[in-house]
Amino acid sequence: MSKKILAAFLVTASGLGLPLASAQEPPPDAVFVNGKVATVDADFTVREAFAVRGGRIVATGTNAAIRALARPNVTAVHDLAGRTVLPGLIDSHVHAPAASMFEFDHEIPSMETIAEVLAYIGSRTKVVPEGEWIQVQQVFITRLKEARYPTRAELDATAPKHPVAFRTGPDSMLNTLALQKCGFDRDWIVKDGGPGYLEKDPSGELNGLTRGLARSINLRSRSRTATEADHLRRLQEQLRDYNQIGFTAVADRGATPESMKRYVALRDRGDFTVRVALSQTFPTVGSMESIRGAIDEIAKNPLRKDDGWLHLIGTKAWLDGGMLTGSAYMLKPWGRNESYGIRDDAYRGVLNIPADRLLEMVRHVAQHGMQFTAHVQGDGAVTALVDAYAAVNREKPIRALRMGLTHSSFMTRDTVERAAKLGVVIDLQPIWLYLDTRTLVNQFGYERLRYFQPLKTIFEMGGMVGGGSDHMLKIGDLRAINPYNPFLAMWTTLTRRAKWYDGQLHPEEALSRRQAIEFYTRNNAYLIFWEKEIGSLEKGKRADFIVVDRDLLTCPVDEVKDARVLETWVEGKKVFAQKKA
């Protein structure tokens, strides 16, 4: 419009008592007033109201200022009735496609005791034909009340006519029929050149425990096979479940060509209600030439172009083992442990990639301008990866690439400091502190856990850390492995309290309320290269936000974990509303 007409229009508008500023741009589609809006901007400003247009925040401010922007018949006015609003939450570590399919064949109950494990196996004997496999997967023994495997005799008594495998990571407990089916007897020795052995009782008889032999246990079963439509339906169900607990974005830390195709299919048919950032896996064994080739292929993926909904941010590798299976790579020896089968006093865990190869992988990913991250649980693995980043950084600064430490459970003051200096970001899972402190204190003692999930220190040293769950099995925020309820995780960061454990684990590492919220919002947005789009409620950002049923900044601390989401909005559209009681 010409200057003259614009001036006339402004005069008319002001003559009607409308604020001039709003006459210059179209009115908002919606305003939200009477709230306690934690914008999570750099100053953590709390506002009363905000306005949305075209799926983006156009203003935040007082009730009066925001109401003044509304136009009758154009702007929907939502009364928040004093409720707290937060930016949409972000989980920086999930495996949604696999997790959503885990119970495709049948529902699997939560198991916290040996009795519950046996009850589940017993229930399967009624459904699975005799002679066919029954298996229990990823029930970590360290999370069972008894902290041990079910015995061969217990499995035999429960399922005498079925081969049974109770599997955790590389190890499995088998019953008698399963041992027979695998051809395991007291004279058996490993013949394929790989690792592994069979445990024996003092009389030399197999006790059913197989170490490192997952490859030798062929669990062919006749479970239902899923169609592509089944995969898509369940993945969509999973994304909806993320919405109901407040997530509007997640990072998939194990993307494959197959799983990425499914995300693309949902996005393209308009069924996306969660933004997804992807870290793609690649094989880390074989010749370096083939590994470089695999990384080159990832770099060519068109999903590296960001559309605000789905983008490939880099690669993911596995540098060490797990802290629940006795294989995280530590700086000091693990110490003996019967349930983990550790009998070597010098044993420090498992490092999967030698330093020179790791350096080449990091360098090659950096050359493509992508984020490298790796599973690093033990402080030895964290140190090895930070060393590799530091070496590449000497050749060319890596800060802009936001290289990652995934899990990073056991740290040292030194690695926290070096990571902060290098601009290395950390995706960390508080739920493990909650579920596993009991076991870890038994194994390592309290003092050795001084820098276990050292959140306060990371914040204080200027590091960047975001919260996640490592959700890998089942749909459901509390029943999943690992549970992905962000309020339970925030509470864990505030209290450092844990299941079946009295007291707190190094409360000097507890976060403030503000930090706990930043940890699940703006910090994660930075981790996944979306800090210009999401992570806070500021002018120009996408209108991704949640309305919660309590004030997380002031409610009694133990009520934080029970918070419920009332509404979830993505890009200005309501994607979840809690059913009225």
| Closest separation in Å from C-beta 413 to Zn ion | 26
CB 576 within 8 A of CB 244: yes
Q: Which is nearer to Zn ion, 422 or 473 (CB)?
A: 473
| Closest separation in Å from C-beta 339 to Zn ion | 23
Q: Which is nearer to Zn ion, 364 or 471 (CB)?
A: 471
User: What are φ and ψ of residue 401, in 5° steps?
Assistant: -85, -15
Question: b vs e for 291-312, b when ≥16 Cβ sit within 10 Å of the residue's Cβ?
Answer: bbebbeebbebebbeeeebbbb
Q: Which is nearer to Zn ion, 470 or 518 (CB)?
A: 470
| Closest separation in Å from C-beta 354 to Zn ion | 22
Point out which span in 184-192, 193-201, 462-470, 528-536 binds Zn ion (CB under 5 A): 462-470
Contact between 252 and Zn ion (CB under 5 A)? Answer: no
Q: Which is nearer to Zn ion, 150 or 468 (CB)?
A: 468
**Which token pair is 123?**
């229930």
| Closest separation in Å from C-beta 322 to Zn ion | 10
Residues forming beta bridges with residue 280, ordered by sequence position: 255, 315
Q: How many beta carbons lie within 10 A of that of residue 377, not counting itself?
A: 26
| Closest separation in Å from C-beta 340 to Zn ion | 20
Whole-number Cα distances in Å, 99 to 234, 236, 486: 9, 12, 17
Point out which span in 2-10, 250-258, 342-350, 492-500 binds Zn ion (CB under 5 A): 250-258
Q: Helices 257-268 and 228-244, interaxial angle, to 10°? A: 70
First-to-last alpha carbon distance for the chain, in angstroms, is 51
| Closest separation in Å from C-beta 386 to Zn ion | 20
CA dihedral 338, 340, 343, 346 (to 10 degrees): -140
| Closest separation in Å from C-beta 207 to Zn ion | 31
* Interacting residue with Zn ion among 41, 171, 252, 470 (CB under 5 A): 470
For the sheet containing 49-53, what is the strand order? 56-61, 49-53, 30-33, 76-79
Point out which span in 9-17, 72-80, 246-254, 377-385 binds Zn ion (CB under 5 A): 246-254
| Closest separation in Å from C-beta 534 to Zn ion | 22
Q: How many residues bind Zn ion (CB under 5 A)?
A: 2
Point out which span in 22-30, 145-153, 209-217, 249-257 binds Zn ion (CB under 5 A): 249-257
Point out which span in 100-108, 196-204, 431-439, 467-475 binds Zn ion (CB under 5 A): 467-475
Q: What is the DSSP letter of 142?
A: G
CA dihedral 269, 275, 277, 282 (to 10 degrees): -40
Point out which span in 214-222, 245-253, 311-319, 459-467 binds Zn ion (CB under 5 A): 245-253
CB 117 within 8 A of CB 143: no
Report 255-274 residues binding Zn ion (CB under 5 A): none
- What is the residue whose two structure tokens read 């395991």? 184
Question: b vs e for 123-143, b when ≥16 Cβ sit within 10 Å of the residue's Cβ?
Answer: ebbeebeeeebbbbebbbbbb
| Closest separation in Å from C-beta 370 to Zn ion | 18
Q: Which is nearer to Zn ion, 206 or 251 (CB)?
A: 251
Reported as type and span, the H/E element at residue 498 is strand 497-498
Q: Which is nearer to Zn ion, 162 or 253 (CB)?
A: 253
| Closest separation in Å from C-beta 243 to Zn ion | 21
User: What are φ and ψ of residue 173, in 5° steps?
Assistant: -100, 125
Report 540-559 residues binding Zn ion (CB under 5 A): none
Residues 198-237, one symbol each (x = binds Zn ion by CB under 5 A, - = not), give ----------------------------------------
Site residues, Zn ion (CB under 5 A): 253, 470
